[in-house]
């Protein structure tokens, strides 16, 4: 185990990298409200489905990469080098995005950006699993996950400022340079895995050997992790809220509630600041309650989101709507660190990258469909001559439905964990299982997390 200061420096570094990546991701949610940006890529303000698809295609690439590339990153490159190479790709893709003068090319760039960012949270989970014991992983997970809210909170006003002071192209150039000039040095200086937990540079094991000998076992171990299917469904509905509200909140504030771009940036960040506080509070809570009570965080948090979003859509005062959405962000954020904490508890150290890659990858792909689905619902309601607020309500009620699914999964997970309370997880540092016996020996018992 690393010294306390060293391992927390790594957590802070990954938090900063997550923050940077989320500013990249929500850049377009501001730009799709700008006529000159839409004109360059061949869209209009009424093409809500196509606008939402820009976020959805990112999540498809992100999810596929999280599932397929994560094991290879862990086995071949390791956490630190994977982060550095990923930041290089993010920077290059972002800097070149203003050069695209068609919707299809921008769509392709979002797919490539998603592919390059996919392993991020699984790599973060590998780092936490390797450097923190199971009973103390709530706080590091909460700090890393708060980077999602921080990225939204800083990204909305920052991108709006760049558009107002310069132009929409500047937002891509500045964010790309931040990836290259800030993210890469932070990863190189502060992210250090414990000795022996990373593949050695210049090792003689070929990529083909890694693919043939190690990856199948990593995937099998991931799928054997206890409750992995239920947690994947829960993660899908949980992330659907984040990507739905993250993509359409600026448009909702501008078109349905009548705010201008200058107000939209900082108002859209208000729910994200409450999310950051909630994520940190959730990490503190996880370390202070029994393991079988953790799923209750999903139960209570999702019900709070349902109530707060429903109230936001019903109130007439536009500022009251912001307050309600801020409360929804808080209830959502409480749940965030519970997902990686649960996976780290049940997965073996050699399987955590693949297990979290599967959960986060599938969850991202399914949850990433929400921006396109909301865009289609908003477009259909607008076509039926519904006013702006009513049209957006049709999309936002899909978020309510997604959180009801989260609630149901939380209840089911709580019942299963309660029934098996005392069935252990896998603490950090647990050695891998012994190799199978020679032919004729008894088969080893399968590990179930």
Q: What's the pLDDT tens digit per position in 278-301?
A: 888 888 888 788 877 888 999 999
pLDDT at residue 308 tops 60: yes
For the whole model, what pTM was predicted?
0.70
In whole angstroms, give the CA distance from residue 292 to residue 310: 30
The 10 Å Cβ neighbour count of residue 192 is 18
Look up residue 427 and give its two tokens: 């603490």
Interval 78-93 mean pLDDT: 90
pLDDT at residue 37 tops 90: no
CA angle 85, 426, 438 (to 5 degrees): 90
- Residue 354 phi, psi dihedral angles, 5° rounding: -70, -40
Look up residue 202 and give its two tokens: 């210049």
Q: How many CA atoms lie within 13 A of 46 on its CB side?
A: 6
Higher pLDDT, 173 or 381: 173
The 10 Å Cβ neighbour count of residue 213 is 11
For residue 166, give the DSSP letter: S
DSSP string over 230-257? HHHHHHHHHHHHHHHHHHHHHHIIIIIS
pLDDT of res. 67: 77
Q: What's the pLDDT tens digit per position in 375-414?
A: 888 888 776 555 566 778 888 899 999 999 999 999 998 8
The 10 Å Cβ neighbour count of residue 270 is 18
Q: What's the pLDDT tens digit per position in 228-248?
A: 888 889 999 999 998 888 888
Interval 9-29 mean pLDDT: 88
Q: What's the pLDDT tens digit per position in 208-220?
A: 555 555 556 656 6
All structural domains of the chain: 4-193+218-419 (1.20.1250.20)
Buried-state track 147-181, b at ≥16 Cβ within 10 A, e below 16: bbbbbbbbbbbbbbbbbeeeebbebbbbbbebbbe
pLDDT at residue 315 tops 60: yes
DSSP string over 31-92? HTT-HHHHHHHT--TT-HHHHHHHHHHHHHHHHHHHHHHHHHIIIII-HHHHHHHHHHHHHH
pLDDT of res. 432: 47
C-alpha distance from residue 138 to each of 157, 291, 335, 343 (Å): 29, 11, 11, 12
pLDDT of res. 304: 94
């Amino acid at each position: 185990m690393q010294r306390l200061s060293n391992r927390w420096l790594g957590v802070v570094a990954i938090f900063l990298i997550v923050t940077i990546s989320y500013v990249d991701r929500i850049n377009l949610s501001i730009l799709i409200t700008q006529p000159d940006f839409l004109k360059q890529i061949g869209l209009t303000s009424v093409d809500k489905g196509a606008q939402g698809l820009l976020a959805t295609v990112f999540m498809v690439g992100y999810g596929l990469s999280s599932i397929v590339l994560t094991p290879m990153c862990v086995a071949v490159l390791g956490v630190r080098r994977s982060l550095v190479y990923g930041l290089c790709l993010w920077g290059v893709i972002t800097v070149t995005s203003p050069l695209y003068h068609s919707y299809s090319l921008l769509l392709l760039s979002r797919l490539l950006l998603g592919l390059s960012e996919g392993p991020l949270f699984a790599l973060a989970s590998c780092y936490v699993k390797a450097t923190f014991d199971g009973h103390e992983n709530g706080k590091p997970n909460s700090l890393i996950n708060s980077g999602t809210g921080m990225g939204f909170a800083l990204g909305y006003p920052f991108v709006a400022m760049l558009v107002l002071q310069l132009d929409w192209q500047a937002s891509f150039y500045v964010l790309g340079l931040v990836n290259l000039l800030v993210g890469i040095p932070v990863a190189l200086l502060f992210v250090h895995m414990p000795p022996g937990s990373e593949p050695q540079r210049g090792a003689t094991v070929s990529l083909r050997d890694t693919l043939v000998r190690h990856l199948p076992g990593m995937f099998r171990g991931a799928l054997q992790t206890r409750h992995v299917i239920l947690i994947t469904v829960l993660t899908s509905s949980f992330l659907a809220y984040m990507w739905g509200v993250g993509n359409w909140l600026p448009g909702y504030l501008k078109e349905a509630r009548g705010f201008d771009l200058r107000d939209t940036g900082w108002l859209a960040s208000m729910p994200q600041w409450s999310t950051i506080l909630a994520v940190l509070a959730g990490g503190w809570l996880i370390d202070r309650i029994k393991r079988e009570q953790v799923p209750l965080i999903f139960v209570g948090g999702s019900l709070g989101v349902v109530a707060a979003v429903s109230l936001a859509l019903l109130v007439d005062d536009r500022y009251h709507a912001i307050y309600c959405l801020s409360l929804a962000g808080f209830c959502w954020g409480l749940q965030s660190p519970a997902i990686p904490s649960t996976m780290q508890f049940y997965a073996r150290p050699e399987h955590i990258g693949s297990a979290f890659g599967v959960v986060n990858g599938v969850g991202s792909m399914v949850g990433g469909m929400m921006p396109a689905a909301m865009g289609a619902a908003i477009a259909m309601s607008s076509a039926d001559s519904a006013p702006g607020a009513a049209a957006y309500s049709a999309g936002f009620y899909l978020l309510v439905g997604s959180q009801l699914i989260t609630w149901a999964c939380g209840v089911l997970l709580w019942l299963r964990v309660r029934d098996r309370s005392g069935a252990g997880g896998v603490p950090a540092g647990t050695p891998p299982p012994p190799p199978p016996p020679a032919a004729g020996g008894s088969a080893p018992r399968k590990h179930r997390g």
